[in-house]
Amino acid sequence: MTITNDAPAAAHPLDPATTAELAHAVAILRASQKLGERAFFSFGHRYEPSRGELDRHRSGTALERIIQLVGHDRDRGQSFDARISLTLDNIASFEWIDEGQAPLGADDVAVLYGVLFQNEQWLAALAKRGIEDLSLVHIEPWIAGIHPPEMPTGRVLRALAFLHQHPDDNHYARPVEGLVGLVDVDSGNAVILDHGVHPVPTESANYAADQVEEVRQDLKPLEITQPEGPSFTVDGHTICWQKWQIRISTHPVDGLVLHDIRYRDRDVDRTILHRAALSDMVVPYGDPSPMHFWKHAFDAGETALGQNANSLKLGCDCLGEIQYFDATFLGADGTPYTCENAICLHEEDFGILWKHANVFRPDIKPEVRRSRRLVISMIHTIGNYEYGFYWYFYLDGNIELEVKLTGIVGVSVTGANTDSENSPQIAPSLSSPIHQHLFCFRLDFNLDGPTNSVAETNIEPTEDDNHPYGSGFRARTRPLRTEHEAMRVIDPARSRSWQILNPNKQNGLGKPVAYKLLPKATPTLLVPEGSPAGRRGGFARHNLWVTPYREEETYAGAGPFTNLHPGGAGLPAHVADNRSIENTELVVWHSFGVTHVPRPEDWPVMPVEYAGFMLMPTGFFDQSPALDVAPSSTCHTKSGKGSA
């Protein structure tokens, strides 16, 4: 069942921009004549008010409505960042970007195709491989990362080629090995790199249901019904569920953004997070071959991940009683458009919440409560990969972020029965490079008030003789006082966790209220610090960073101008002064992800791999906040019995 969301237009400063607002902002900028005829837009959105501005709004002050427009001017060869005041009907600020460029867009891809399909060297290289029918050639645009020596200036994209057997098959099964195109999509100049001819694989690798040899027929229907409707309510972009209150929005780069997360405790709405969202991500490849050595994609900042959102489908992407939210984005020509059903909101059963059976008192019935969670999700497609971002809210005060990675792995042609430590074989004629997917989430805490601190806890064996058997161990907690002290990595062997606490608020035991950031087993960036990926993705070298809140410090890297940025921006620059992080407005940055060693089971389409973290109340409440969850009204036995 789908519920329609009829949110009022711009009723709150955090509400996303409407189509009318985006169109009006574009008209103001175009009228200024600051842009050339070949300028285009990468994205546009409501520029987010700062914490201080939102505090003033809560006190009754009207805020200026600002629209940010980011794009690129081909005539000038430079990207721009414009802030348009809809309140004052003028340009609040306009800046030409000196380092980095606006994200890749559809306009760039169209130019790339046009240049290569008219380039004699590219066509000759295809012909040398026996490829004459250009309608069967798929060009995969790739971010160059940094300016390569063959093309040291311009708005440079790389291009790889794949071959269809028919229009709707999986073209990734047939890479055109050895051929790489470099195109400056501003000037139209191209450099073709031919590293040698390799046979194009002939085997198909289709995965659509109508192209698979046999589809399972023995799965019985699994229905999820809520005859009385869902337990959540929605007012515009504010969601209330159980004791939770969350405001949501979409950002063209960050994707799904959560604002002003609160939990109602004894008739008090206690604040936990001011803002939580993806800040950056990097995907470095470990294969030294000419087809892959240069790859280190920043899928958020380089391609505007947020506006590559999927339009979600009931029964496929989401299941149950669903509420969808549309998202409004800006096209390259300055025309707003709507992605329908970009955000999915629903509830899920999540097994047992808590249970106890008193084995010594059979006259006392067991007590059990079922868990459920609220799910807020978006899915994005970036080239060959899909990224699903799922926020889970639980009845016991836990918050979880889960990233689901799926799609199609990158491939190269390999000889039969060969293998490589850098690029394992996954099919008779294909190998797939080892690579990482590393995400950095920005968690702007407001834990029971704006001033917070951070501590680290490690579990360690005791070093004294107080334990009779000498086998004691303890939780050793220490404060992290400065930015440099807070540059930390995980340590599963010591059950390392980090607490965000409010030193000014105490629980019933006289201890500071806190939430725990519980990381999962996760790698850090494997590439050298001085490499292009290392310079540009320094945020992934540590799993934890903590900074005092600054309005301008929004991204772990170069954010919307990561494309062709030389590196050094973001967290490494933010923490350079080693500021204090004690008892202040602070931001926690958590980097995590997966190192993907491809396997045959990942082909031709990759089953979901998971990454994420948990935020757990740790002395935030005086006892279990799930004690008041009612027993299930459907608690009875219904089973088919058999012999063991």
> 3: closest CA among 223, 221, 232?
232
- Both structure tokens of 472: 């004691």
Catalytic sites, residue numbers: 299, 385
The answer to whether 2-96 and 106-208 have equal CATH topology is yes
> Mind listing the pLDDT tens digit for each residue in 252-263?
999 999 999 999
The pLDDT of residue 4 is: 38
Rounded CA separation 632/571 (Å): 47
- Beta-bridge mates of residue 73: 39, 78
DSSP per residue, 58-73: HTTPPPP-EEEEEEEE
Rounded CA separation 362/241 (Å): 36
Give the count of beta carbons closer than 10 Å to the beta carbon of residue 169.
18
- Both structure tokens of 182: 């470099």
Dihedral angle of Cα 530, 153, 112, 101, to the nearest 10 degrees: 70
- Both structure tokens of 51: 């914490």
Domain range list for the chain: 2-96, 106-208, 233-452+481-617
To 5 degrees, how large is the angle CA 451–CA 455–CA 461?
165
Strands 544-548, 367-382: pairing kind: unpaired
Q: Which amino acid is at 550?
A: R
CATH of segment(s) 233-452+481-617? 2.70.98.20
DSSP per residue, 178-194: EEEEEEETTT--EEEEE
Strands 453-461, 435-445: pairing kind: unpaired
> Mind listing the pLDDT tens digit for each residue in 524-545?
999 999 999 999 999 999 999 9
> 199: closest CA among 428, 528, 520, 455?
428
CA dihedral over 396, 401, 407, 410, signed as positive or negative:
negative
CATH architecture assigned to 106-208: Roll (3.10)
Cβ proximity of 407 and 388 under 8 Å: no
Cβ proximity of 567 and 538 under 8 Å: yes
DSSP 3-state assignment of 514? strand
Q: Which residue has the tokens 């002064």?
A: 577
The yes-or-no verdict on residue 644 having pLDDT over 90 is: no
Rounded CA separation 3/613 (Å): 30
Cβ proximity of 406 and 382 under 8 Å: no
- Both structure tokens of 262: 């609160």
- Provide the b/e sequence for 481-505 (b: ≥16 CB within 10 Å): bebeebbbebeeeeebbbbbbbeeb
> Mind listing the pLDDT tens digit for each residue in 383-439?
999 999 999 999 999 999 999 999 999 999 987 556 789 999 999 999 999 999 999
Rounded CA separation 434/307 (Å): 27
CA 173 vs. chain centroid, Å, equals: 27
Rounded CA separation 385/523 (Å): 20
Cβ proximity of 606 and 170 under 8 Å: no
Cβ proximity of 404 and 388 under 8 Å: yes
Rounded CA separation 53/87 (Å): 15
Q: Is 197 exposed, middle or buried (0-12, 13-18, 19+ CB in 10 A)?
A: middle
The pLDDT of residue 463 is: 78
Strands 2-3, 322-330: pairing kind: parallel
The pLDDT of residue 232 is: 97
Q: Is 627 exposed, middle or buried (0-12, 13-18, 19+ CB in 10 A)?
A: exposed
The yes-or-no verdict on residue 641 having pLDDT over 50 is: no
- What's the mean pLDDT when you consider all of the chain? 94
**What is each CA distance from 81 to 44, 121, 327, 561, in whole angstroms?**
10, 36, 21, 10
Rounded CA separation 266/275 (Å): 24
The number of C-alpha atoms within 13 Å of 568 and in the hemisphere containing its C-beta is 5
Contact residues for 228 (Cβ-Cβ < 8 A; gap 6+): none
Q: Which residue has the tokens 């606490």?
A: 501
The yes-or-no verdict on residue 215 having pLDDT over 90 is: no
- Beta-bridge mates of residue 84: 67, 91
Q: Is 95 exposed, middle or buried (0-12, 13-18, 19+ CB in 10 A)?
A: exposed
> 67: closest CA among 41, 37, 103, 33?
41
What secondary structure letter does DSSP report for 570? Answer: S
Peptide bond before residue 604 is cis, with ω within 30 degrees of 0: yes
Q: Is 360 exposed, middle or buried (0-12, 13-18, 19+ CB in 10 A)?
A: exposed
The pLDDT of residue 315 is: 74
The pLDDT of residue 418 is: 66
> Mind listing the pLDDT tens digit for each residue in 335-362?
999 999 999 999 999 999 999 998 888 8
Cβ proximity of 354 and 369 under 8 Å: yes
DSSP 3-state assignment of 601? helix
The pLDDT of residue 635 is: 58
Q: Can you tell me the mean pLDDT for 189-200?
A: 96
Cβ proximity of 170 and 408 under 8 Å: yes
Rounded CA separation 450/275 (Å): 12
The pLDDT of residue 639 is: 45
Q: Can you tell me the mean pLDDT for 54-78?
A: 96
> Mind listing the pLDDT tens digit for each residue in 308-336?
999 998 778 888 899 999 999 999 999 99
What secondary structure letter does DSSP report for 626? Answer: T
CATH of the structural domain 2-96, one choice from 3.40.50.2300, 2.40.50.140, 3.40.50.12160, 3.10.450.40? 3.10.450.40
